[in-house]
A and B are shown apart, each in its own frame.
Chain A
Amino acid sequence: MIEVKNLYKSFGIKDVLKGISFKINHGESVAIIGKSGIGKSVLLKHLIGLIQPDSGEVWVEEKLVNSLLFSQLQSVRAQCGMVFQFGALFDSMTVEENIGLALSKLSDMNEFEVARQISKSLAEVDMENSEKLMPSSLSGGMKKRVGIARAIAIKPKYLLYDEPTTGLDPVMTDSINRLISKIHRQENVTSIMVTHELRTVFEVAERVIMIHNGKIKFDGTPAQIKQSEDKVVQQFISGNSTLLEAEA
């Protein structure tokens, strides 16, 4: 279980998160939505201790992430796989080395087991036989797939996706959405995705958390958000930039 309690974060004079609280149970598929630059990715990075909050608490599996030492944080991170917006593949390494890095250096697996796990992860994202490719030769969609393969290779309990479909064409978006759903079902993981792509929200998520002005504006199911009468939520769902101006 992941629980965030009264989280505050500022960068300079800009208050990004202003008292965020929520709880995510095991096996849930949650989409965190909101306008660009609202602090969604910042929130996601707090969950595995990549960013320290100004105040508030982040609990993962009953461990207070923001008070852990590096060695203790490693055990939390070992349970969380993160997929970054543009893949964040190590560009000096092949696909195989990207996926196998953590397995070979930080696990007890032998060479054979690592190779088998790499092949299995690549097969799950439909990227078989791409072990020897360099990230520079991959398309945006392929990079995201390899990023997902790298995240699932460590067999995490939680999968965090930062804008998994942003910048992809509609066909590739559909493909990645299906992949996320498939992994969520097959691997029995908790999926948390940060996105502003409504198609991803409605196709993949079981729960939606909307952030606005540093606070949670909405927390419910995709069906409920469609019926929300809140003007800010309506504006985001409809994508109509003049909605609030017209109300004013």
Chain B
Amino acid sequence: MLRILIYPINIFIDFFEGVAEYVLLMTKMFRSVKSWNLYLGFTADQMVNIGAQSIPIVMLTSLFSGMVTSVQAAYQFESGFVPTWFVGSIVGESVLLELAPMITGLVMTGKIGATITAEIGTMRVTEQIDALESLSFDPVSFLIMPRVLAAAIMFPMLVIVADFCGILGGLFAAQSAMDVSAQEFIRGFRTWFRPWDAWFGLIKGVFFGIAITSIASYKGFTTEGGAEGVGKSTTSTVVISCMVIVLLDYILAEIFL
């Protein structure tokens, strides 16, 4: 009986301990920014890993999400009260404001977040982080800072790729599902297009990139207990990052829109 009562209290305490540890680690990371030039090469490597190597999966997922939006819009327009060229505006606004940054964030959580946690977690349990420290390196600036910096730069780029592919996917689907011509689609898109919407998507990308890589790095850094520990940390990274992305999405919308 006592254990049942203590269990939620322990979860509560663990949560706040985790948040405090995360904040502490991020403080260390931001302090280490002054030595960024020392790790420029690693940051460039991470930009390739996080950015360039993720382009195909981002293209594919955003293409289909744009297509689905278009098809669903066509389904809604079956009544005939709404002109079909409106689909361009619906796809455009949905992709720029929400789908491109959100889908990119969620896909990257699985691809990059999990990878970072597994890499750093394995380094932790095989004493590679201790070895770094013993060689006088600051593991936070060596391992975490280049990844977070690379994500902050590359995520907006990926969002631009997702914007382009999402809208292109929407255009293809509109042509096939509703017989909307490319000119009509673009007309709809341009009618309600506001440049700020595109900027807002990029801002989200920066926040999502920092959130995913910092959470993944933190979970990897605090991994304990061998291969099982690495597995648990990786799962936990994906779950927490997904929740944080959704939460950030709402907070950023409240602030910027």
Contact = CB atoms under 8 A, between A and B. Distances in A.
A82 B131 contact: yes
Interface string A122-154: 000000000000000000000000000010001
Contact of A77 (B38, B127, B134): B134
Interface in B99-123: 122-123
B138 A82 contact: no
B136 A77 contact: yes
Given A50-B133, A77-B133, A88 B138 contact: no
Interface string A188-225: 00000000000000000000000000000000000000
B134 A48 contact: yes
B170 to A, nearest CB: 40
A42 to B, nearest CB: 12
A46 interface: no
B130 A77 contact: no
Contacts of A90: 123, 128, 131-132
B135 interface: yes
Contacts of A48: 133-134
Contacts of A86: 126-127
Nearest to A84: B127
A82 B126 CA distance: 14
A105 B137 contact: yes
A78 B134 contact: no
Interface in B147-167: none
A74 interface: yes
A154 B135 contact: yes
Contact of A84 (B130, B136, B137, B138): B130
Contacts of A16: none
A70 interface: yes
A192 B135 CA distance: 17
- Name B's interface SS: helix
A105 B122 CA distance: 23
Nearest to B138: A70
Contacts of A74: 136
A5 to B, nearest CB: 22
A17 interface: no
Contacts of B132: 90
A89 B126 CA distance: 9
Contacts of A119: none
B136 A102 contact: yes
A50 B38 contact: no
B142 to A, nearest CB: 9
Nearest to B131: A88
A84 B138 CA distance: 18
Contact of A50 (B122, B126, B130): B130
B126 A88 contact: yes
Contacts of B123: 90
A82 B134 contact: yes
Interface in A78-107: 78, 80-82, 84-86, 88-91, 101-102, 105-106
Interface centre among A77, A81, A88 (most CB of B within 10 A): A88
A82 B128 CA distance: 12
Contacts of A82: 130-131, 134
A120 interface: no
Contacts of A78: 136
Contacts of B137: 101-102, 105-106
Interface string B10-49: 0000000000000000000000000000100000000000
A45 interface: yes
A161 B133 CA distance: 15
B135 A88 contact: no
B135 A102 contact: yes
Contacts of A91: 122, 126, 128
A127 B135 CA distance: 21
Please name the 7 residue pairs, one residue from A and one from B, whose CB atoms are nearest each other, closest first.
Answer: A88-B131, A82-B134, A88-B127, A102-B135, A74-B136, A77-B136, A84-B127
20 contacts: A45-B130, A48-B133, A48-B134, A50-B133, A50-B134, A77-B133, A77-B134, A81-B134, A82-B134, A84-B127, A84-B130, A84-B131, A86-B127, A88-B128, A90-B123, A90-B132, A101-B137, A102-B137, A105-B38, A106-B137
Given A85-B127, A91-B128, 13 more contacts: A48-B134, A50-B130, A78-B136, A80-B134, A88-B126, A88-B130, A88-B131, A89-B131, A90-B123, A90-B131, A90-B132, A91-B122, A150-B135
